[in-house]
A and B are shown apart, each in its own frame.
Chain A
Amino acid sequence: MDFSADDLEKVRARLRFKVCYDVGFACPDVDDIVQESLIRFLAATRENKIQNPEAAGAFLNGICRNVILEYRRRNLRDEPMPEVMPEPARESIQDTDLFELRQAISRGLDQLSERDRRVLRAFYLEEKSKEEILKSTGLTDENFRVVLCRAKERFRAIYVAQTQHRGPSRHS
């Protein structure tokens, strides 16, 4: 398995999200965990340890889980050093970028109709099932899919535009 620089950058972004999800977005050691996981993963690919390329994601996930477990064990084992304050996590998004992002999200929401917003709220925030939403709104299955896909298309465009604007090395 060979990775181009671009592929590797994408894998890093995905892995970074997974690590942040597990250890918290404010953890100062996120990048170290990502780097260690990637090093082990690339070493394994060089040694042809991944026999099924389709299982590469699961393999990387397993490696990352182990690295996180080791990190947690190390943290528990090591004596706390109260006099040394941990370095605050580097802000992954600058204030200006955050403002732009909020603006973009707000613009995306403004493009949604009142009904669409109500449907999406019910689906994403109120944990209602598709059947419940169809019943309460009178939408057909097809309508519901259109609402979902239309909203997702807009927000995916916002996400892609934002990551391109911020450059490849600054994924949050």
Chain B
Amino acid sequence: MWPRRNIAALRVTLSYMSVDFHEDPVRREQTIARYLGRRLGADQAGQWESHYLSCQDCFEEMRASEWLIRGLGEPVVERKLVNGVAVLQFARGTQLLAASLELTELSKAIHMESDRKVLIDLSTVSRIDSTGLGVLMQCYCHAVKNDGALKLLRPDAPVRRVLNMTKIDLVLQTFEDEAAAIESFGPSA
């Protein structure tokens, strides 16, 4: 008599072996994602390898997914430290709107790190809405509470207009030159 657990595992493996990878693209993508993330069991990985070794179409799909995952995994907010000032910049052109991933990432980047002097480069931001402004203000409050400061660098014309209209530019100092902005934080600690 086989232990119940072994029978269940065998059943899973057998059901996997009978999978037609071309039948359901979503199922195939799940397999690819798990294979590339090394989360597929040995049997299932072997089954998938045997398949793509003889199927150029699935191999190309897997490579495309690999690049897509690589792109999705790229950092959204890049951080560099210049004279004790953390300069945050968005890796790609973006919009700071309610549903933006970048907004969450920005908030995370500021709250997770213990930076006291933060400069946010807005040169790649083409639009901002009230949620975006709210997050900027939250980040500002977080920095001030920690005896720090938060300033903005190179906002684009539409963003500058919104900052001006809402008078947020009276609270958040804005600069056009990175060196001048960093100097304004005073000597590095």
Distance in angstroms from A75 CB to nearest chain B CB is: 21
A117 touches B101 (CB 8 A): yes
Interface residues of B in 170-189 (CB under 8 A from A): none
A 138-161 contacts with B by CB, 8 A? 144-145, 148-149, 151-152, 155-156, 158-160
Q: Please tell me if B69 contacts chain A, counting CB pairs below 8 Å.
A: yes
User: What's the minimum C-beta distance from A137 to chain B, rounded to whole angstroms?
Assistant: 10
Residues of A contacting B33 in the complex (Cβ-Cβ under 8 angstroms):
123-124, 127
Does any Cβ of A come within 8 Å of B1's Cβ? no
* CB under 8 Å from chain A, chain B span 103-139: none
Q: With contacts A60-B53, A110-B92, A114-B100 known, is A152 near B65, CB below 8 A? A: yes
Q: Return chain A residues, CB-CB under 8 Å to B34.
A: 127
A130 in the interface, Cβ–Cβ < 8 Å? yes
Query: Which residues does chain B contribute within 8 Å of A114, judged by CB atoms?
Result: 95, 97, 99-101
Interface size class of A (residues with CB under 8 A): 35 or more
Enumerate A17-74 residues with CB–CB distance to B below 8 Å.
17-18, 21, 54-58, 60-61, 64-65
Q: A14-B52, A155-B64, A156-B61 are in contact. Are A106 and B99 (CB under 8 A)?
A: no
A117 touches B56 (CB 8 A): no
Task: Determine the chain A residues whose CB is within 8 A of the CB of B54 once the complex forms.
Answer: 54, 56-58, 60
Give how many A-B residue pairs fall within 8 Å (CB-CB).
Answer: 117
Question: What's the Cα separation between A148 and B56 when bound, in Å?
Answer: 20
Question: Among B7-15, B70-78, B151-159, B160-168, which stretch is in contact with chain A?
Answer: B70-78
Question: Which B-chain residue is minimally distant from A129 (CB atoms)?
Answer: B30
List which B45-68 residues lie within 8 A (CB) of chain A: 46, 49-56, 59-65, 67-68
Q: Which of A80-120 contact B (CB under 8 A)?
A: 101, 105-106, 108-110, 114-115, 117-118, 120
In the assembled complex, 14 residue pairs joining A and B whose CB atoms fall closer than 8 Å, in A order, are A17-B59, A18-B49, A57-B52, A58-B50, A114-B95, A120-B68, A120-B72, A148-B25, A152-B25, A152-B61, A152-B65, A155-B64, A158-B67, A159-B64
